[in-house]
């Protein structure tokens, strides 16, 4: 099966005022990086890309920091076309 490796800019968005306020992680598609026809190779490439991204971004604030203003990226693998955003629908407080 074919897998697509894609970069996403990650962020944290406000979910709502329930229980004192809650937040959720989101991502916006930046670009597709590679196409793999073996799932194991796609996962290995994703892990390598994320290790490299962590090394390159180690001096940037994490997304849960009040100083975060964007600019952190994550590599994700999908078996179909990568979505433009994740999550596809805004989560609801249960």
Q: Inform me whether the pLDDT recorded for 92 exceeds 90.
A: no
Asked, for residue 61, whether it belongs to a domain, the answer is yes
16 and 86 Cβ atoms separated by less than 8 Å = no
Could you give the CA distance from residue 71 to residue 94 in angstroms, rounded to a whole number?
A: 30
Asked, for residue 78, whether it belongs to a domain, the answer is yes
Q: Inform me whether the pLDDT recorded for 20 exceeds 90.
A: no
Number of domains the chain contains: 1
Asked, for residue 91, whether it belongs to a domain, the answer is no
Asked, for residue 92, whether it belongs to a domain, the answer is no
Model confidence over 29-53: pLDDT tens digits? 999 999 999 999 999 999 999 999 9
Asked, for residue 13, whether it belongs to a domain, the answer is yes
Asked, for residue 16, whether it belongs to a domain, the answer is yes
The C-alpha angle 47, 51, 57, rounded to 5 degrees, equals 140
Asked, for residue 94, whether it belongs to a domain, the answer is no
């Amino acid at each position: 099966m074919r897998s697509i490796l894609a970069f996403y800019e990650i962020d944290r968005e406000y979910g709502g005022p329930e229980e004192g306020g809650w937040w959720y992680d989101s991502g916006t598609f930046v670009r597709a990086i590679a196409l793999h026809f073996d799932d194991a190779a796609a996962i290995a490439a994703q892990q390598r890309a994320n290790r490299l991204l962590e090394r390159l971004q180690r001096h940037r604030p994490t997304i849960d920091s009040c100083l975060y203003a964007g600019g952190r990226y994550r590599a994700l693998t999908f078996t179909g076309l990568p979505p433009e955003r994740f999550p596809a629908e805004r989560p609801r407080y249960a």
